[in-house]
């Protein structure tokens, strides 16, 4: 209860009139400048209320006198960026690979666009850095089943592999086991031989029979030394990099009833310029061919 | 001052009149420094003109650096991350040099202070220089000390108002010029001026000019000696550098006291010292203190009181230099009638000198041996390694190449510590080669992806060390970066 407002002797300031156990409190009001700044912020706040979107009105809201919208702002920024990228992507679409590679800035755009497109579309199968996984080829090595030049990569990405596109890349290995072309014993023998091609054969195993079977059945496509043949889509076997792995049972399984991977034809979903960017990016992963 | 209390009775205030303190802080006593002429003042003018001339004019000095580089002699180009000092060009990596320079400046300040007290404060500190300049303006418009005091105490007249307005306008003008000159150290000077007046300069330029105009005006016009006494940390720890052998502004109390003027006081029987208690020394002091109270925190060692007192001594016919530059130790000895030699070089100052020289050597050597090419290598995170068709291993790296020189050049990038290694620039569809050739433009930072492949003889626990070496094909200057080559079982 304020009782008696009196002047404090020492400071000359009024007291608040409150007293607790003989302790009185000086009335020290907020500094004037503080109060004015506070009032100014209130006025400022009211101004913002009137100028900018503020009051919710059910399904709509008061738009403010300036008609500002952060969403429209953001969309304008997106449009601007699209326009900018559109020009550069157009250039990428129009120029040859060699010309793009010579243009440092354009190359940077292409690699960035390629990287983003790759992450959105290719990464689920080929891995985040193109390292591949079983059944999905690695893109960072020097083994290219269908060619590793920029043009070859562009072709593969555009039309896919066994995709149903009229220009798709395709190949088919016979089911030597399932169709009864080779007996299970022979398949075991040929597997023993194939493993010698990449230095994984167990020592002491006789591979003469397997070699003979290989020469008669496999060499036509895979080459007499297992070096592969791109024209018929036969992968190299004398290689340390294998699509399905290099274990004996894998070889046996593949000869018995081969798996045939499919890659979509991206011309359905990506523009030619974007595919070019992807090709440049994929090529940069391992240097291509 | 115990031994002359009898003479000083006029300063005595009866205890009854002392009011109880009702304030926690002392009010500022306004200082009206009086004009003075003399040795210290002339040196101070000289330094003032020099400092201001350098500050205001240096940004306008042009310096030819060839095409593509700014033609301003001193330019701190923050936007392009380059600092230019005449022929020296500093990159962000060289910023240690500026840090070192500041540290060196601090040690130099310690050295000077241990030898001569606060010379920096009295003569070269921007606060002192600009305050002096502002005081000059004030004197030219409002007159000297007595005139100013009288007008300030008097009524508001037209004469008073126009003089005040003129003074503040001129102060603001100088402050604005000061802020503008500051910005010119960061933006090309002629461009800055043109853009400023055409309204096309960046917001930062306007903000910084406004800020520096405000601080200059407030600090040199209004705050003045309060900056030195209350705001600046330097006077707080200068006592750590000063000792009784420091050569500073001192009052020769042994011959000045007892102070007073016999005839004026109407006292004839007392023998008076040389000080006639005219307070001339107090009136000229820019911080408003009395040097006769001894060395004190507020004293900026400017020596203006020396000049003032010398005039008085000339008039009274006493020996000049009653206030003088001397050491406390010598003053104590002089009181006893001896004059020992100066001992300026003491352990303290020699240590400061040593540290300063060592710092100069380190900075100088660092600058002279500074590399003009830079190399930094980051190993790919995933995959750590790739196996190739023939069983070789391949690692990928992001390599940052820097050419700091103003000439484009061919560089050779190679690796050491891996016999038979081949390198590829995959982005450029390059063919594997033992060394790669890269053309770097002038003043360029470029990142390239590099693949290193080969069959390492033996991989220690899946990894082995690998050094990247970048060489300027023409000059042979090289940079080495230590990295790793990973294989199976490593990681
Ligand atoms: S100017 Fe000299 S004589 Fe005058 S009061 Fe100061 S010390 Fe004494
Ligand atoms: S006492 Fe003398 S030296 Fe010290 S600040 Fe005042 S005028 Fe300058």
Shared domain for B399 and B473, answered yes or no, is: yes
Cβ B383–A131 below 8 Å, yes or no? yes
Q: Spell out the residues 6+ positions from residue A71 whose beta carbon is closer than 8 angstroms to its own.
A: none
Q: Are B393 and B487 spatial neighbours (Cβ–Cβ below 8 Å)?
A: yes
Q: Give the B window 371-410 contacts with A, CB below 8 Å.
A: 380, 382-383, 386-391, 394, 396
Residue A179 within a domain:
no
Residue B17: inside a domain: no
Query: Cβ–Cβ of A131/B382 closer than 8 Å?
Result: yes
Whether residue B290 is found in the same domain as residue B418: no
CA of A226 to the centre of ligand 1 (A): 109
Report the pLDDT value the prediction gives residue B15, as an integer from 0 to 100: 47
Do residues A127 and A190 share a domain?
A: no
Tell me: do A189 and A229 sit in the same domain: yes
pLDDT at residue B295, as a whole number: 87
Residue identified by tokens 């592999």 is: A161
Give tens-digit pLDDT for B381-435: 888 899 888 888 999 999 999 998 888 899 999 999 888 899 998 888 778 899 9
What pLDDT sits at residue A205? 82
Same domain assignment for residues A188 and A135:
no
Q: How far is CA B465 from CA B170, B239, B374, B416, B486, in A?
A: 68, 54, 20, 9, 9
Q: Do A162 and A275 belong to one domain?
A: yes
Range of the domain at B472: 373-486
Residue A35 is assigned to a structural domain of this protein: no
* Confidence band of B20 (pLDDT split at 50, 70, 90): low
Query: B21 to chain A: which residues are within 8 Å by CB?
Result: none
**pLDDT tens track, chain A, 289 positions:** 556 778 877 777 888 888 888 888 888 889 999 999 999 999 999 999 999 999 999 999 999 999 899 999 999 999 998 888 889 999 999 999 999 998 888 999 999 999 999 999 999 999 999 999 899 999 998 889 899 999 999 999 999 999 999 999 999 999 999 898 899 999 999 999 999 998 888 888 888 899 999 999 999 999 999 999 988 889 999 998 899 988 999 999 999 999 999 999 999 999 999 999 999 999 999 888 8
B338/B472 same-domain check: no
Q: What pLDDT sits at residue B68?
A: 80
CA dihedral (B236, B240, B244, B245) positive or negative? negative
* Euclidean distance between CA atoms A267 and A165, whole angstroms: 9
Asked if residue B327 and residue B189 are part of one domain, the reply reads yes
In chain B, the percentage of residues whose pLDDT exceeds 90 is 64
More confident residue, A279 or B66: A279
Measured in Å, residue B55 CA sits from the centre of ligand 2 at 26
Residue the block writes with tokens 């920024």: A77
Are B340 and B379 part of one and the same domain? Answer: no
User: Residue B467 above 90 pLDDT?
Assistant: yes
**Nearest of B373, B377, B376 to residue B440 by alpha carbon:** B373
Domain membership of residue B14 (yes or no) is: no
- Specify the number of domains making up chain B: 2
pLDDT at B260: 84
Q: Dump pLDDT digits (tens) for B95-121.
A: 899 999 999 999 999 999 999 999 999
**Could you tell me which of A241, A125, A211 has the C-alpha nearest to residue B385?**
A241
Token pair listed for B148: 């100013």
Judgement on whether residues A275 and A139 belong to the same structural domain of the protein: yes
Looking at the structure, do residues A117 and A229 belong to the same domain, yes or no?
Answer: no
Examine residue A220 and state whether it is found in any structural domain, yes or no: yes
Q: Are residues B354 and B475 in the same domain?
A: no
Residue B255 shares a structural domain with residue B394: no
Mean pLDDT over B250-266 rounds to: 82
Which letter, b or e, does each residue of A156-185 get, where b requires 16 or more Cβ atoms within 10 Å of its Cβ?
Answer: bbbbbbbbebeebbebebeebbeeeebeee
> Are residues A251 and A273 both part of a single domain?
no
Single residue among B338, B370, B402 that ends a domain in this structure:
B370
Same domain, B344 and B379: no
CB–CB contact B22 A12 (8 Å): yes
pLDDT attached to residue B22: 65
Share of chain B above pLDDT 70, in %: 93
Per-residue pLDDT at B4: 43
Same domain, A99 and A238: no
CATH number of the domain within which A214 lies:
1.10.760.10
Q: How many angstroms separate the CA atoms of B346 and B107, rounded? A: 16
Do B359 and B378 reside in the same domain of the chain?
no
* Residue B177 backbone dihedrals phi, psi, to 5 degrees: -60, -40
Residue B269, pLDDT score: 65
Give the number of domains in chain A.
2
Q: Considering B341, B370, B399, which residue would you say is the last residue of a domain?
A: B370
Indicate the range of A208-212, B39-43, B349-353, B459-463 predicted with least confidence.
Answer: B459-463
Residues A204 and A139 in one domain: no
Q: Is the pTM of this model over 0.95?
A: no
The beta-carbon contacts of B161-170 under 8 Å, at least 24 apart in sequence, are: B166/B141, B167/B137, B167/B138, B167/B141, B167/B142, B168/B221, B170/B137, B170/B141
Query: Are residues B393 and B329 part of one domain?
Result: no
Give me ligand 2 centre to Cα B28, in Å: 18
Nearest Cα of chain A lies from the Cα of B21 at a distance, in angstroms, of 8
Specify the pLDDT at position A202: 82
The answer to whether the Cβ–Cβ distance between B388 and A240 falls below 8 Å is yes
pLDDT at B56: 96
Same domain, B321 and B393: no
Domain residues for the domain of A190 are 184-256
Q: Is B440 helix (H, G, I), strand (E, B) or coil?
A: strand
Q: In A, which residues are within 8 Å of B424 by CB distance? A: 287
Whether A274 and A146 map to the same domain: the answer is: yes
Q: B418 and B355 in one domain?
A: no
Final residue of a structural domain among B370, B387, B404: B370
């Amino acid at each position: 209860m304020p009782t008696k407002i009196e002047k404090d002797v020492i400071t000359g300031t009024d007291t608040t009139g409150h007293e607790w156990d003989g302790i009185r409190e000086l009335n020290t009001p907020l500094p004037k400048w503080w109060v004015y700044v506070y009032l100014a912020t209130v006025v400022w706040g009211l101004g913002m209320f009137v100028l900018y979107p503020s009051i919710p009105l059910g399904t709509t809201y008061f738009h403010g006198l300036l008609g500002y919208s952060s969403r429209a702002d953001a969309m304008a920024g997106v449009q601007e960026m699209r326009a900018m990228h559109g020009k550069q992507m157009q250039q990428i679409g129009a120029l040859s690979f060699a010309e793009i590679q010579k243009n440092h800035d354009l190359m940077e755009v292409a690699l960035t666009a390629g990287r983003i497109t790759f992450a959105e579309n290719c990464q689920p199968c080929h891995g985040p850095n193109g390292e591949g996984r079983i059944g999905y080829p690695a893109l960072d090595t020097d083994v290219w089943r269908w060619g590793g030049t920029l043009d070859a990569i562009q072709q593969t990405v555009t039309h896919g592999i066994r995709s149903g596109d009229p220009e798709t890349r395709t190949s088919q290995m016979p089911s030597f086991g399932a169709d009864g072309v080779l007996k299970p014993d022979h398949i075991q023998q040929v597997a023993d031989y194939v493993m010698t091609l990449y230095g994984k054969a167990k020592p002491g195993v006789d591979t003469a029979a397997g070699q003979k079977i290989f020469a008669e059945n496999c060499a036509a496509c895979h080459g007499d030394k297992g070096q592969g043949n791109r024209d018929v889509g036969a992968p190299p076997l004398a290689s340390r990099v294998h699509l399905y792995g290099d274990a004996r049972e894998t070889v046996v399984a593949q000869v018995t009833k081969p798996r045939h991977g499919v890659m979509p034809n991206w011309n359905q979903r990506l523009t030619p310029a974007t595919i070019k960017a992807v090709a440049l990016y994929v090529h940069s992963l391992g240097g291509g061919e | 001052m115990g031994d002359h209390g009898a003479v000083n009775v006029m300063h005595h205030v009866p205890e009854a009149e002392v009011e109880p303190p009702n304030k926690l802080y002392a009010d500022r006593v306004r200082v009206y420094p009086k004009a003075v002429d003399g040795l210290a003042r002339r040196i101070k003018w000289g330094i003032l003109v020099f400092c201001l001339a350098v500050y205001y004019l240096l940004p306008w000095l042009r310096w030819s650096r060839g095409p593509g580089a700014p033609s301003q002699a001193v330019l701190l180009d923050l936007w392009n991350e380059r600092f230019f000092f005449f022929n020296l060009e500093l990159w962000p990596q060289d910023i240690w040099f500026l840090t070192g320079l500041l540290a060196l400046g601090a040690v130099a300040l310690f050295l000077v202070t241990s030898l001569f007290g606060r010379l920096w404060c009295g003569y070269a500190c921007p606060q002192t220089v600009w305050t002096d300049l502002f005081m000059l303006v004030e004197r030219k418009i409002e007159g000297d000390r007595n005139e100013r005091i009288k007008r300030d105490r008097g009524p508001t007249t037209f004469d008073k108002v126009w003089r005040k307005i003129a003074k503040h306008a001129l102060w603001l003008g100088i402050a604005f010029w000061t802020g503008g000159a500051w910005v010119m150290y960061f933006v090309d000077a002629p461009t800055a001026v043109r853009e400023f007046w055409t309204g096309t300069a960046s917001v930062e330029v306007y903000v910084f000019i406004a800020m520096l105009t405000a601080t200059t005006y407030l600090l040199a016009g209004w705050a003045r000696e309060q900056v030195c006494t209350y705001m600046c940390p330097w006077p707080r720890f200068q006592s750590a550098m000063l000792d009784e052998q420091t050569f500073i502004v001192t009052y020769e109390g042994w011959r000045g006291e007892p102070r007073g003027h016999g005839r004026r006081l109407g006292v004839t029987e007392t023998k008076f010292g040389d000080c006639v208690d005219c307070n001339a020394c107090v009136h000229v002091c820019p911080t408003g203190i009395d040097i006769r109270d001894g060395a004190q925190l507020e004293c900026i060692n400017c020596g203006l009181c020396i000049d003032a007192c010398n005039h008085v001594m000339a008039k009274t016919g006493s020996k000049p230099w009653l206030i003088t530059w001397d050491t406390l130790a010598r003053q104590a000895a002089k009181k006893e009638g001896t004059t020992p030699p100066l001992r300026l070089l003491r352990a303290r100052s020699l240590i400061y000198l040593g540290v300063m020289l060592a710092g100069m050597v380190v900075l100088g050597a660092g600058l002279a041996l500074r590399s003009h090419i830079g190399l930094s290598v980051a190993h790919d995170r995933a995959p750590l390694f790739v196996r190739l068709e023939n069983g070789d291993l391949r690692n990928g790296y992001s390599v940052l190449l820097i050419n700091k020189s103003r000439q484009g050049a061919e560089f050779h990038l190679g690796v050491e510590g891996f016999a038979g290694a081949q390198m590829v620039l995959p982005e450029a569809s390059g063919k594997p080669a033992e060394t790669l050739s890269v053309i770097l433009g002038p003043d360029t930072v470029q990142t390239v992806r590099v693949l290193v492949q080969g069959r390492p003889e033996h991989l220690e626990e899946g990894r082995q060390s690998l050094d990247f070496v970048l060489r300027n094909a023409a000059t042979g200057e090289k940079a080495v970066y230590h990295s790793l080559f990973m294989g199976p079982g490593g990681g």
